[in-house]
Amino acid sequence: MKTIQFIGTEDKIENLHLALGIADNEMPQQSETRVYVVDTHKVFNKSHSELTDDEFMTLAETDGNVLTLHIFQKHYNIGEFDEPHYVIRFINLPKFD
């Protein structure tokens, strides 16, 4: 869901929308960075660098290894993802409230 609040008359708001030349689905949106962690022992057919973001995300989600930056920092600092067989990707995704 996208929420944008414009203050002004209806004409001014419509003129702004036309001046920007953007459709509703192109409106800027908030995003959040998630950390996806994959155990390379579970990647059989490809190198982790050959995986698309969608493939990488699916593997991480299957193992429950999708973290916010704050939670990843905590886990990393205690050595949880310090093994050489873990690889990570930072992926920005739209944030829906």
pLDDT in tens, 16-40: 555 555 555 555 568 888 999 988 8
Tell whether 6 is covered by a domain.
no
Domain with 87, as residue range(s), is 30-94
- On average, the pLDDT of the chain sits at 76
Q: Which of 93, 81, 94, 79 has the alpha carbon at shortest distance from 38?
A: 81
Tell whether 17 is covered by a domain.
no
Nearest 10 degrees: CA dihedral of 81, 84, 85, 87? 60
Tell whether 53 is covered by a domain.
yes
Tell whether 11 is covered by a domain.
no
Tell whether 13 is covered by a domain.
no
Tell whether 18 is covered by a domain.
no
Q: In total, how many domains does the chain have?
A: 1
- Please write the tens of the pLDDT for every residue from 38-54: 888 887 777 778 888 99
Q: Which of 63, 53, 54, 70 has the alpha carbon at shortest distance from 86?
A: 63
